[in-house]
Structure 1
């Protein structure tokens, strides 16, 4: 009996040892990098327990503005201190004298420290090159003057640039063939997501030292510098954004209280985004809450009378713009008396300048009778309904897209709607199902300004290696599909200028600006209400200078009441700012 019990106990002990051995093998050899359902990297965690480190650069690629300035981060020359200094006798007086930081401040900072830090974080004090050189010449262990990369507290063009985050599951899904730490940051929106594969880090640059269980130096006070030392990575994405213009544009949008909307500014010659502002802004404390993460400049919106530009283009090509013909603008598009906007009898040109709904409702119905696809065809010719962001072949990617978040526009949703006269009339004034993104509207204005030549919109011009050489260039590319003729473009240019120069035009407010403006206004009913009042989308889209077009600009304020939220003052201030910028009258 006793013998049998001993055997049983022995079996249990052996089984227990086998289980423990198997567990150790699993931990030490098999699942060292993906332990448990949480995919814990045991190698990384064990190293963390034995070391303390200060990351100088996380190794992810950077975004630059068109002049090469960092957009999302800044490099600051800082004083780095290691916590073991508080238990050492070191030349604090010399560091204090060189840096200008009192000895008492250095002492206090070290007393509260349990890991390496840049003095003054999160707003570190910046050292001069001379101060850096003198501090490093002291060769004090645990005291360094280095250039460290910091994320900016306020990021310009934040929705366009996008966000990054840690997501082990998504990382594995995207890059199953790459050996990456589960803590690797990946792009989750905007250009960060579009260019993510190029921006992945080779490794972090950091200062490291080994510690015991109490945090004291394990191997003396030697600090090790770790760097991937790759001359080519991380890469930099050179965007087309002009940092100074972006900063001023954001200030003007906020100054004019645009709570939902924003603006897009294009350089017409290169068809590149110089500034893009979207509101509401991202909530920095909780970026994924609310609608701040959405780039409204890439989302389709109801545009109202802006769409009359498309109807005008089709009318010109189908000889419906007879200058002797008059339209009854004392009536609404349904034939009822027009009480608020009773303009009487107007010509085609005056109808466009004053934005008469009756005229363009009638023309849309006439165009539909000629061809039910007419409005869609001309919207496509003016680059209003397709995606306009740069796309093409880049390395092994056949269809790389710079703007992964971009919506398409549309005119009709169903074939039946194309045949309905009432729907045609409503579509002719940019209502019913007509939608377009502010970016596409800006591109339409640039297309007209260039004489009908439509191109993809660039937000990045190239990707550069770390050493400054070029990895990839994003050259100007034409958008596919039919275009309007140079003659039609010229006629549209005159119509858009008439909106401003006509004494009764909807853009008459821009007559005295330093640059001559051509453009079109739009006020669209959204179908939404606030306090029983209809909400509207208010637009102005145009280009300037009229004779030698340089900029295309769209300003939009979404979901505002009819009596408030205009964008004319914002548009005008942008024109003035750009004139001063071009003439060197103001430095931004």
Structure 2
């Protein structure tokens, strides 16, 4: 009985084991072939991968181009693809060499030791003409193909704005669990993790790779003869292109200037005044692709993050004072005093309103702000909104099934007051008037303010992308110009602001007088903001700004340069602004 019982138990256990094994085999080969295990492994893909030699021509992800159609992320180059089996066959290498105008021995040498398909001439591929491509393909040599192959642009630009992609299994599952479950997306697919790559990721996702495939046995020999297959997604309109508003040539020049002048932290934003589009944007320090979110990874785009503006903010107080008619022609301000009425280290004497703005007298704007706030506590923020300074300024709207779509990865508001009780505290109002205390605005919003003034008061959202294009170049979606909501300034106030900003440069004592040496007339406002921080040498650190537009009388560009956390005597802000304007003359 005991032996029979043990035998029964053994048979049952064996049966259950075999049943489990059969189920496991069925799961692998029949049930979950395209999404196996928690890692969602596509077993069919993996099996094919082990038995094929592949040359990927296009990974399928959409790309970014500049406003003129120049590639910003990757482009398509005419390339010659050679497969390994050629070294074991007789083929007309002389005919190919004749078309390429190279010795046939060079071609034979290039494939002598290869085990995978190659791009001939890589890492510096031979540049083929369209005529050469046509001649090569007419030869119909198995294993020899002249095709347009995707290639990464060597010198990437506008990296903080464009962003980066990388493999991130957890994020793929979080964002696109349904696509993975349906087998339409692999967990290993690179996705956007920063910048416009992240914002437009769903538009850019690949529908599949375009590739040349050659099946081999476990020795690397031909499995089905020497037939090379071409596979590609069925949809001829994809992958798409995102047409940005960036001008690649200008962007490259701005990046060079920023690097050469050693602007360590901060950045530059250049807007096209007519369209309110970003023409160039540079944030420093540069981006570390391998570890962008580390303490020194450079992931911050400082142009999109609120900063302390300093005297640039006096533009708002000036606008409020003009529109509220509290400026009289003969009114003078004691600019020997600081904002608290104490003797200032930088004595400027008795100045009228216009001279006060040009020479950036703190006492004048502290006095005016207190008058304005006593009359109406919300005055300062009201006028900041009229110039689009503290509201999110990036393009926002409906795009297909995306409601409330933001073009920019960060579309943050600024702020003026953190505590409303500060409006009744004279010292707090005085500090606020000169862009200190709790005032925080993004450099992009400051550029938008300058663009608004230069356009005559017309408020617009800022665009970084103009169109989404199909693969064939036709338009899938156009981002139309959109107004910023809210009231605008009167034409009279705008005209007065234009005069004030121009005088900052033309006045012999103006804070922007250095720019008089330029061939192009500039209008703008400087700013020096105390940060309350020190470096290891115990030097006080400041935010140094210059924001303006040019040409002053017929504006084309709005430009903001800001350097953050810099000792005042080491700032290169004006150098950068000067050189950029000079380069665009």
**Residue 558 (structure 1) aligned with residue 559 (structure 2):** no
Counterpart of 1:582 in structure 2 is none
Q: Deviation of residue 497 (structure 1)? A: 0.6
Instruction: Show the counterpart of 1:544.
Output: 550
> Which residue in 1 is equivalent to 2:492?
487
1:113-171 alpha-carbon deviations (Å, 9 max, x no partner): 33222123344332222332333233222121211111113211111111112223322
Q: Quote the offset at 1:285 in angstroms.
A: 4.4
Partner of 2:74: 73
1:571 to 2:577 alignment: yes
- Whether 1:447 and 2:452 are equivalent positions in the alignment is yes
**Residues 103 and 283 of structure 1: is their aligned pair in 2 closer, same or farther, counting only changes over 3 Å?**
farther
Query: Residue 583 of structure 1 aligns with which residue?
Result: none
Deviations 1:457-485 (A, max 9, x none): 11111112222222111111100112211
User: Is 1:408 aligned to 2:404, yes or no?
Assistant: no
The alpha carbon displacement at 1:56 in A equals 0.7
CA distance in 2 between partners of 1:93 and 1:68 (Å): 38
Q: 2:156 aligned with 1:155, yes or no? A: yes
Q: Deviations over 1:215-259 (max 9, x none)?
A: 222111111111114232222111111111111111111121112
5+ residue gaps, structure 1: 580-588
Equivalent residue in structure 2 for 1:399, among 395, 404, 407: 404
- Does the aligned pair in 2 maintain the 1:451–1:485 contact within 8 Å? no
Counterpart check, 1:191 vs 2:181: no
Q: In 1, are the aligned partners of 2:58 and 2:211 still within 8 Å (CA)?
A: yes
CA 431–122 in structure 1, closer or farther in 2 if over 3 Å, else same = farther
The CA distance in 1 between the partners of 2:358 and 2:478, in whole Å, is: 41
Task: String of CA shifts for 1:469-512, please: whole Å, max 9, x gaps.
Answer: 22111111100112211111111111001101111001111113
Q: What aligned pairs does 1:246-325 form with structure 2 within 5 A after superposition? A: 246-289=251-294, 290-325=296-331
1:586 aligned partner: none
**2:17 matched to which residue of 1?**
16
- TM-score normalised by structure 2 residue count: 0.95
Cα distance in 2, alignment partners of residues 205 and 122 from structure 1: 21
Write the deviation string for residues 410-469 of structure 1: whole angstroms up to 9, x where unpaired. Answer: 111122223322111111111111111111110000111112111101111111222222
- 1:80-95 correspondence runs (5 A): 80-95=81-96
| Structure 1 pair 259–108 and aligned structure 2 pair: CA distance change class (3 A) | farther
In the alignment, which residue of structure 2 is the partner of 1:131? Answer: 132
Q: Residue 10 of structure 1: CA displacement?
A: 1.9
Cα distance in 1 for partners of 2:282, 2:515 equals: 22
Change (3 A) 1:17 1:138: same
Q: Which residue of 1 aligns with 2:439?
A: 434
Equivalent position of 1:584 in the other structure: none
**Which residue is 2:349 aligned to?**
344
How far apart, CA to CA, are the structure 2 residues paired with 1:20 and 1:112?
43
| Other structure's SS at 2:570 match | coil
Alignment equivalent of 1:456, drawn from 437, 458, 461: 461
The verdict on how the C-alpha distance between 1:214 and 1:414 changes in structure 2, with shifts beyond 3 A counting, is farther
d(CA) in 1 for partners of 2:31 and 2:419?
A: 57
TM-score (norm 1): 0.94
Deviation at 1:371, TM superposition (A): 2.0
Distance in 2 between the 1:120 and 1:5 partners? 70
- Alpha-carbon distance in 2 for matches of 1:47, 1:323: 83
Contact 2:39 2:187 in 1 (8 A): no
Distance in 2 of aligned mates of 1:34 and 1:59: 21
What is the RMSD of the two structures over their aligned residues, measured on CA atoms?
1.8
- The count of corresponding residues between Structure 1 and Structure 2 is 578
User: Are the aligned partners of 2:71 and 2:153 in contact in 1 as well (CA < 8 Å)?
Assistant: no
Aligned partner of 2:27 in structure 1 is 26
Q: In 2, are the aligned partners of 1:266 and 1:273 still within 8 Å (CA)?
A: yes
Unaligned runs of 5+ in 2: none
Q: Which of 327, 335, 355 is the matching residue for 1:329?
A: 335
